[in-house]
Structure 1
Amino acid sequence: MSSISGTISDSLSGKVIVLAVTGSIAAVRTVDLVRDLIRRGATVHAVISSAAAEIIHPYALEYASGNTVVTRITGRVEHVEFCGVGGRADLLLVAPATANTIGKIACGIDDTPVTTYATTALGSGVPVVVVPAMHEAMYRHPAVLKNLGALRSMGVVVVDPRIEEEKAKIAENRTVVLEVERLLGPGDLAGRRILVTSGATAERVDPIRILTNRASGKTGAEIALEARRRGAEVTLVHRGHLDLPLREIYVESAEEMGYAVLGELDGGGYDAMIAAAAVSDYTLTPSPGKIKSGGEITLRLSPTPKIIGAVRSLHPELKMVGFKAETFLTDEELISRARESMEKNRLDLVVANDVGKGGMGTEENRVLILGREGPRYEVSGKKRAIAKAVIDALAEEFS
């Protein structure tokens, strides 16, 4: 699978992950999970129980990973080779994990290749992630819940299932992968709480129509995900319903975003705010009923309060990252406008870009990231790469 290695990112480059598969029907999802890990640079080795082999053939995982699948422990003592002290594995990922396997790991019983790997990993300090998948009734059993609690007390990371259709379904791949990235990442934002605003807001014209802008929110979402990868606790305030593996607050208008942001920050505990949202500059008093179509209409617009200014006045110690979007300027002019915004709102960093040349609603962008000591760097490419650069700069501010 070298052809797909690192095609999404290098977040797991150089990392060896052992995927331990047990006998849940969710085992059929593991081929895609292996590929998602490889696309981020990981090397994946699989070990499966005999029950899992009745659901997914070892050859499927061998094909997906490019490595021989362990179906039994041999004279090579594979569990020690990978998960022993000084072993090759950086992390053991048990996905899917059945109620049976969860109970055995919690009690130190190792009568399958998977549980033998788990016992060895826990005894050697290798990070372990468990991803449950079973019927909801089984998941709700007091003993299963107790065993999951026991695993957490041992330092095992449990990725909670999705409760749907009376089943505790295996978490989405992106949730599992993000947790792996978080555990194996630099952790330079561990213990930090970060608030991110993202995307366009919308001002109501009538019960049907709105005024908004072209911002997609992709950059803000990627920033929120990158901050979580780096260990932060993240809240994303936006108009989207993305079902991301982090806390999201839905808002529509600029006023709603302002209330949500100030309410969160007034609760205390946040270390930084990244204001990536394209907040409406103007609002209006909406019509209570639908405005009839046909003919000309006049809308009276009034300016919206500036959220970033209100935040700074109330939270002078908060690290703040602002965004400055302009159109058809030279880099020197763009930097000048960004510096004005930085000084006015006492920002620690400003991400500036010329949206007249692209970037709003697109997959790629070019930005200039400025700090108080002068220009930091120029970044071009996918919005995930831009998000990484923004979080790199914020991490430097904390250090």
Structure 2
Amino acid sequence: MTSRVLYLFASAAPPVFEAGRVIEEAQARDWDVHLGLTPTAAKWLGPQLHELETLTGHPVRSEYKLPGEPDVWPPADAILLAPATFNTINEWSLGLTSKFVVGVVAEAIGKEIPTAAMPCVNSAYAQHPQFHWSVDALRSMGVTVLYGPGGFEPNQPGERRPEGFPWHLALDAVDAIVSPAP
């Protein structure tokens, strides 16, 4: 059986520290995982980057490659952006692609690569009207956004959920939007 290629992208929110466990769970679901991070998420995970590269067998990326450089990753069968911060969701929906992960997911819409995102925002950010406009815009572009009932539901600022970030829902969504490998 051939593994499917998953780009697992993450922003700088506390669930990013669970990346190793999530990679292992995705691998158990027959995904060949390639980890991409926003620059701040890469800084947060700096001490773990070598371990994460060993776990995936691929370089962890947080920056665009230079023009003319070969791509070190194969094409994605699916992309999961989680946790996706308030800033990342808004940049993506507005097409502001200065960050590698935002540029790739923005292009994925045009390439019709199945893409899911699970925001990680607190209830104060979630009240900002741009956030809801961005979620609606991404959904209208064909992105599976796991926000609201059955997805991520905001918590109060400074609080963490006792049950943790619902990674299982994010991985289930990616499995659902891509047919199984032959």
Distance apart, 1:185 and its partner CA: 2.7
Write the distance in 2 (CA, Å) between the matches of 1:143 and 1:26: 23
* Larger strand fraction of residues: 1
Q: Which residue of 1 aligns with 2:3?
A: 14
TM-score, normalised by the number of residues in structure 1 = 0.40
Aligned mate of 2:135, from 148, 156, 160: 148
2:75 aligned with 1:88: yes
Write the distance in 1 (CA, Å) between the matches of 2:18 and 2:156: 18
Aligned mate of 1:113, from 100, 105, 124: 100
Q: Which residue of 2 aligns with 1:24?
A: 13
Write the distance in 1 (CA, Å) between the matches of 2:117 and 2:169: 12
Distance apart, 1:168 and its partner CA: 8.2
Write the distance in 1 (CA, Å) between the matches of 2:179 and 2:153: 25
2:50 aligned with 1:59: yes
Q: Are the aligned partners of 2:124 and 2:156 in contact in 1 as well (CA < 8 Å)? A: no
Distance apart, 1:65 and its partner CA: 1.6
Q: Are the aligned partners of 2:92 and 2:106 in contact in 1 as well (CA < 8 Å)? A: yes
Structure 2 unaligned regions, length at least 5: none
Aligned mate of 1:162, from 144, 147, 153: 153
Change (3 A) 1:182 1:143: same
2:68 aligned with 1:74: no
Q: Are the aligned partners of 1:136 and 1:168 in contact in 2 as well (CA < 8 Å)? A: no
Deviations 1:342-381 (A, max 9, x none): xxxxxxxxxxxxxxxxxxxxxxxxxxxxxxxxxxxxxxxx
SS at structure 2 position matched to 1:30: helix
* Identical counterparts, % of pairs: 24
Q: Which residue of 1 aligns with 2:173?
A: 179
Q: Which residue of 2 aligns with 1:293?
A: none
Distance apart, 1:23 and its partner CA: 1.5
SS at structure 2 position matched to 1:163: coil
Distance apart, 1:68 and its partner CA: 1.0
Distance apart, 1:171 and its partner CA: 4.1
Write the distance in 1 (CA, Å) between the matches of 2:175 and 2:99: 27
| Residues matched between the structures, number | 169
Q: Which residue of 2 aligns with 1:125?
A: 112
SS at structure 1 position matched to 2:105: helix
Write the distance in 1 (CA, Å) between the matches of 2:131 and 2:96: 15
SS at structure 2 position matched to 1:162: coil
> Which has the bigger relative contact order, CA under 8 A and spacing at least 6?
2
Deviations 1:135-169 (A, max 9, x none): 22112211111101100000000112133444586
Which amino acid counterpart does residue 59 of structure 2 have in structure 1?
T
SS at structure 2 position matched to 1:53: helix
1:1-399 mapped onto 2 (5 Å cutoff): 14-57=3-46, 58-75=49-66, 76=69, 78=71, 88-160=75-147, 161-166=152-157, 171-185=165-179
Which amino acid counterpart does residue 49 of structure 1 have in structure 2?
T
Change (3 A) 1:93 1:77: farther
* Larger helix fraction of residues: 2
RMSD over aligned Cα, in angstroms?
A: 2.2
Structure 1 unaligned regions, length at least 5: 1-9, 187-399
Write the distance in 1 (CA, Å) between the matches of 2:38 and 2:32: 20
| Runs (4+) off by over 2 Å | 57-61, 75-78, 162-171
Write the distance in 2 (CA, Å) between the matches of 1:68 and 1:59: 9
TM-score, normalised by the number of residues in structure 2 = 0.83
